[in-house]
Structure 1
Amino acid sequence: MSGASGFTTIDFDRPGKQTGFVSIPHSPHDDAWGVTQIPLCVIAHGKGPTVIIEGGNHGDEYEGPITISELIRDLDPKEIQGRLILMPAVNVHAVMAGRRTSPVDGLNFNRTFPGDPKGTITQQISAYMAREIFPRGDAFIDLHSGGSSLDILPSAIVEPTDNPDLFRRNAAAALAFDAPLAVVISNHGDTRTATAAACHAGLVTVGTEMGGGGTVSLDGLAICRRGVRNVLAHLGVLPQATKPESRGDRRILDLAGTKAHVYATMDGVFEPFHANGRQVKAGEAAGRIHCLWDPARPPDTLHYHADGILYSRRQPGRVKPGNCCLVVASLYEGDLS
């Protein structure tokens, strides 16, 4: 099958399990007629919704790709009702390099939607997702972690949208994931993300943050494995399993705009004052930045700008002005009824 910016030998409408690639023409210096191959698996059986599950949106976030790869190997088509479109390494060049951004064109895949079929390789991949994958779906699960630069409390992410009914369904799916936290994240209103594009296409959308720090979190991976199956059961693709009472906090949190973030003010090394999960207050000292190559200069002290819990903390100590050092999550005050 040919697409707007790529092709695949997989038949999306055929029952059973098919594993292959989306191939996007790519002609770098050392390969005149080559392709970039993006792993793809379609599992279909019976009647039910189509759920797209994406990992490797950023190449240094590992819990999602591991979870999806396990589903590809382990799921028998007879276990499901509906169709799964599984993409464990969508930003494949970044995944192979272990980098947030693509080493080919330097772009952040999650800031390129709706993409460009005539653009760089990253823009072509997002165009294929927007034009060929999302129109086939009813729901989208986008599995993220904090990557190399952030350590984030494991959480399911509610994608905001102007459609109240879709927002309620997004929130219900995030709560069904049953992570320790559910958090509304708008990415400062940026509509170039995969989850924003999925919502624009009308898909029930849930994201995750599963730890980070450039490692595989054992707790995050266990939460991710269980959570994906929880959402698939919530959507009717997998049977509802008997499970213990929810392990997550049923409240929904929010990143309250720019006040949620604490940014570096100078070149130096950041010393945080608190661990993730601590209750913090606006105006409270959050950490300080040391200029180690100018010891006569006193450190800059940073402060929180919102009340809530410390949700995320920068992993590398070295910072420069504008780096995100800390993120505070507050109780969501919007309407979910």
Structure 2
Amino acid sequence: MNDQPTYELSINSQAASLFDVLSDIKDEIGCETQEIEGARILDAGVHTHGSVAAGLGLAGLCMGDLANIEIQPADPDRYATTNAVYVQTDHPLHACLGAQYAGWPVQSDDFFAMGSGPMRLARGREEMLGELELTETGSPVVGVLESDSLPTASAIKLIAEQCQVETSELRIAVAPTSTIAGSLQVVARSIETALHKLHELKFDVRTIISATGHAPLPPPAKPGDMASGIGRTNDAMLYGATVTLWVDADDEAIEAVASQVPSETSKDHGRPFKDVFKDYGYDFYKVDPMLFSPAVVMIHSLRTGRSWHHGKLYSDVLRQSFFG
């Protein structure tokens, strides 16, 4: 058991097919397309309004089109809002840690953005990807950038160089976190936060077979207010996300980490993330890394039928973050 799945196409190729679909319906989903240095760009919120559909598309690109992602109703008494993002995948390792995790700070002389998507597999430089043997070669290459501006020519050349492809082989989608599409694709990361936390806790994430995640979709922040956009989307995870994992591992291995997964185990837990972020000078790398995880986790053992449930929702913090 535990053998990782194989794919008929590369994950980047699968995502490229979805990118083509989104580009074809750009007008219907409130997006625009253009070329920069030969790379194809999908603007889902920089110079456009984007849409919920665009956000679902971006989330799909981030996960290499290896997940089912949809909007579901949410109880406002529990989640402070009326919609939630539900994610289901039977490829959690590749979809979440291989593709979706925002592990690439894309920085050139005149541009910065957090990079996600299967382009990270093509780059293959992150320590975590090496540890988990998550890389692939070939073209095209697909990525998603969290930014309030479109990538510059220098950024496109940098991405192509590090992914070892021509710029014409790049497919890049862009949206600020404060927009509809940008916030939705971040909130679709509930499973990813649980897997990343488990990896940090030295649990073998390759034993996770299937996963679901559910997190409230916050109202978008004021245009240009990246701090509030980042704060609300992180709070949706930290105080409102529930993740369920089906795991093929020994009970002892699960027992050793299950209670440590929820965000409430972090010293920075308990306040809206915008306030925490400000205290650290808006530097993600100074925030306690154990904070970035879902509010609630449930783990089911495929070997023994035992289950573990830890954490709870924090409705008051969600209301303060979204509407305070």
Same fold? TM cut 0.5: no
The TM-score normalised by the length of structure 2 is 0.30
Q: Which structure would you say has the larger Rg?
A: 1
